[in-house]
């Protein structure tokens, strides 16, 4: 069965610290990978995505993620966080041949950035 695992449920860090959120997936085939973010009181929105090609993808607001196929991982990184990065972050996956686009989400990681 497909699954998405996010390693940390809560992360607290100070401004200017580096952030790395782990995401591992279990899926028997080629996948599309996503990170979505939910800022307090706002909609979920796409942070970045990977379909194919360069395994290092860059998203909005200085975020990037690296797809490591051998490790079934798609970790999210940001070198220097800001208070405005306080949000919940979700990793998601679907099969590349799934034309219905049904995403499987991880449990989410609540990130709190302190001033």
Partner 1 sequence: NAGVTQTPKFRILKIGQSMTLQCTQDMNHNYMYWYRQDPGMGLKLIYYSVGAGITDKGEVPNGYNVSRSTTEDFPLRLELAAPSQTSVYFCASRDLSGANVLTFGAGSRLTVL
Q: List binders of partner 1 among 16-55 (CB under 8 A).
A: 32, 34, 42-46, 49, 51
DSSP state letters, the chain? --EEEES-SEEEEETT--EEE-EEEE-SS-EEEEEEEE-TTS-EEEEEEE-SS-SEEE-GGG-EEEEEGGGTEEEEEESS--GGG-EEEEEEEEETT-TT---EE---EEEEEE-
Q: Which of 28, 40, 100, 115 binds partner 1 (CB under 8 A)?
A: 100
Q: Which of 40, 54, 97, 102 binds partner 1 (CB under 8 A)?
A: 102
11 binds partner 1 (CB under 8 A): no
Residue 39 beta carbon to partner 1: minimum distance, rounded to whole angstroms? 12
In the complex, the residues that contact partner 1 under the rule CB under 8 A are 4, 6, 9, 32, 34, 42-46, 49, 51, 90, 92, 94, 98, 100-108
């Amino acid at each position: 069965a497909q699954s998405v695992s996010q390693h940390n449920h809560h992360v607290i860090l100070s401004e200017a610290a580096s952030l790395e959120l782990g995401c591992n997936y279990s899926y028997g085939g080629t996948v599309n990978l996503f990170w979505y973010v939910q800022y307090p009181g706002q909609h979920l929105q796409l942070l970045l995505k990977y379909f194919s090609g360069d395994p290092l993808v860059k998203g909005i607001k200085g975020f990037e993620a690296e797809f490591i196929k051998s490790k079934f991982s798609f970790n999210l990184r940001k070198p220097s966080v800001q208070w405005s990065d306080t949000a919940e972050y979700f990793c998601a996956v679907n099969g590349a041949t799934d034309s219905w686009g049904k995403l499987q989400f991880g449990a989410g990681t609540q990130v709190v950035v302190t001033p």
